[in-house]
Structure 1
Amino acid sequence: MPHDFPSSAAPAVLPASPTRAPGLLEAVLTILGYFILQLGFGMGFKLLADALARWFPDGVPDAPDRIIVVVMLTVLASAWLTIHVVVRRWGSLTRSGGVLGLGFTEPAGRFIAAGTVLGLVAPLLGGLLTQWLAGDHAVSQTVSEIADKAHFGMRVALVPVAVLAGPLVEEVLFRGALLARLRHLTGDGWAIGISGVLFGAVHLPDLGWLWYAVPNLVLVGIFCAWLRVRSGSIWPSYIAHAANNGLAVMAWFSASTGS
C-alpha cells in the first residue's frame, strides 16, 4: 500500500489525475523555475539579512553564519514551493510508479538497500573520477566553501537542508517529472542517460563552471535514475542521493573554524 508522503511536500488531498501528464517542456521549465526561485529567494533573504545586520549589529551573526541562514531559508522556500507545484500538476499520478508517474510509491526492501549502497559507492567512484580528470586542480562547491567558514553549530543546522531537503526537491524534478517524460519519449535507457547528464550540467554554476567535476554528478544522476526505473519508486533514488550528500557534508566538520 503506498505511503502517504509528508504534508510539507504535498497537500493532504490530491487533485484528480490530469487528462494527460505534463509534457517535457513543462518539466524542463519547472527545473528552470526552481533555480530561478533560488536566485530570487537568495537575493531577497540576503538583502534582508544585510539590512538586519546594519540595524542590529550586535544581534545578528557575522557574515559566514548569516549566509548559512540565507542558504537554508532559500533552499527550504524554493523546495517547498516547487514540490507543491509539481504535485498539484501531476495530481494522482504523483503516487503512480508507472512511466508517467512521479513514483511516490512504496518500494521493495531490496531497493532501499540498493539505494543506500549506491549512495555510498557513488561518491567514492565519482571522487576517483574527478581526481583523475582534475589532476592538480581543486574542486569545491559554493555551499561547501560557505560551510567551511561557518561555526560548528551553523554547519550542523545546514546538514538537514543539504542531506534531506535538497535531495528531495531534486529527485522530484529529475527522477520524477523529467525522467517520467523522457521515459515516455525515448525509453528507459536513453532517459536514464539524458537525465543523468542534465542533472550534472545544472550544477555547473555551483561548481564554479569546473567541467571536470560534472562527471561525478552525472554518475550519481545515472545511479538514481536507474533506481527509480527499476524500483518503480522515487524513494530508493532519494535515499541514494541523501547518502551521497551525507558523505559530502562530512568534510565540513573537518575544517577549522573560529570559536
Structure 2
Amino acid sequence: MPNDPAFPPMPAATLPEAPPRRPGPGWGETILIIAAYFALQFILGGGLAWLSQSLAKAFPDNVPGAGDRLVIVVILTLAGAAAVTLSLVTRRWGALLREGGPAGFGFTPPTGVQMVFGAVLGIVAPVIGGLLTQMLANGHEVSQSVSQLADNAHVGMRVALLPIAILVGPLVEEVLFRGALLALLRTRFGDGWAIALSAVFFGVIHLPDLGGLWYAVPNLILVGAFCAWLRVRSGSIWPALACHAANNALATMAWFS
C-alpha cells in the first residue's frame, strides 16, 4: 500500500533492569567468617608453635629465647589470620564496605571530631571497665594472654608486637564485629538491640583469651558497646577503630612500665 511505511516500526527500547541491591550479611556467613578468624589463629598458632619448638631443639644456640619466639609466633599468627579474613570479607562483601547505612560496613570518611571522640572513649572505657573488673574480681589478678607473653619477651620484641596489638587486631575485629555482625543485627533488630547484642558477643568470645575469668568480660563488653555506638552514630567504622586502638594502646603501656 502507498501509505505503508518502508520499514516496520522498531519496538521501544527497554533499559536493562538495575541489579538488585545486595543485602547485608546473613546469619550463616557472618558466624562462619568470625569462627574462621579464630580457627585460623588456632591452626596457625599451633603449627608455628610446633615449628618454633622444633627449631629450638635442632638449633638450641641459634634461635631466640622462648619468650621472644612466642612473640614471633603471635605476630605471624595474627598477621596471617588477619590477611586471610580481610581477603574473605572483601571478596564476599566488597560492595558493602563503603556503605555507611545499617547494612554496610561503614568505611566512609569520618570527621576529625568523631575520630578524637572515639579515641577519648577508648581511653575512658578501660578506666571504667577496669574499676568494674576489680570490683567483680574481688582481688584476683586479671591479664590477657597477650600481656603475659609480652612480659617474658625483650623490649625489642614488645615493640615489634605493638602494631599487631594496636592496629592489625583492632582492624580485623572492627570489620567482623562492628562491620559484619553489627550490620546483621541492625537490619534484624534495630540499632539499640544491635549495639547491646554485638557488645555482649564481643566480650564473651574473648573469654578463652582471658583464661576463663568471667569477671573481666564486662570490661570488654563496655569497649564493644562504645565501638558499636560510635559506628551507629557516626555512620563510619573509623571512630570505632580509633576507640579500639586507643584502648589497646593504653593496655600495652604496661609492657614498658
- Do the structures match in fold with TM over 0.5? yes
Structure 1 counterpart of 2:16: none
Identify the match of residue 168 of structure 1 among 166, 171, 183.
Answer: 171
8 Å Cα contact 1:17/1:91 also seen in 2: no
Q: Could you say if the C-alpha distance between residues 80 and 138 of structure 1 is closer, same or farther in structure 2, counting changes exceeding 3 Å?
A: same
1:92 deviates by: 1.6
Shift, 1:252, TM fit: 0.9
Give the aligned partner of residue 150 of structure 2.
Answer: 147
CA contact (8 A) 1:17 1:90 kept: no
- Conservation of the 8 A alpha-carbon contact between 1:182 and 1:191: yes
Greater Rg over alpha carbons, structure: 2
Q: 1:199-238 residue pairs with structure 2 within 5 A? A: 199-238=202-241
Q: Which runs of 5+ in 2 are unaligned?
A: 1-18
Counterpart of 2:117 in structure 1 is: 114
Does the residue aligned with 2:97 lie in a helix, a strand or coil?
helix
Runs of 4+ in 1 over 3 A off after TM superposition: 16-19
Distance between the aligned counterparts of 1:54 and 1:137, measured in 2? 36
Distance 1:70 1:131 in 2: 31
Q: Check whether the contact 1:119–1:243 (CA below 8 A) recurs between aligned residues.
A: yes
Of residues 9, 33, 55, the one that matches 1:52 is: 55
Secondary structure of 2:62's match?
A: coil
Match of 1:5 in 2: none
Query: If the length of structure 2 is used for normalisation, what is the TM-score?
Result: 0.90
1:90 Cα offset (Å):
0.7
Q: Which residue of 1 aligns with 2:15?
A: none
Alignment partner, residue 129 of structure 1: 132
1:84 partner amino acid: S
Gaps of 5+ in 1: 1-15, 255-259
Amino acid at match of 1:48: L
List per-residue Cα deviations over 1:79-106 (Å, max 9, x = no partner).
Answer: 1110110111112211111111111110
Asked if the contact 1:18/1:91 (under 8 Å) is kept, the reply is no
Q: CA deviation at 1:44?
A: 1.0
Structure 2 match to 1:90: 93
Q: Summarize deviations over 1:216-237 as a string: whole Å, max 9, x none.
A: 0000000000000011111000
Q: Equivalents in 2 of 1:231, 1:93: separation in Å?
A: 17
Is 1:77 aligned to 2:69, yes or no?
no
Q: Of 177, 180, 185, which residue of structure 2 is paired with 1:177? A: 180
Q: What corresponds to 1:6 in structure 2?
A: none
Match of 1:29 among 27, 32, 42: 32
Q: Partner residue of 2:256?
A: 253
Q: Does 1:198 align with 2:201?
A: yes
Task: Report how far residue 17 of structure 1 moved.
Answer: 9.0
Q: How many residues align?
A: 239
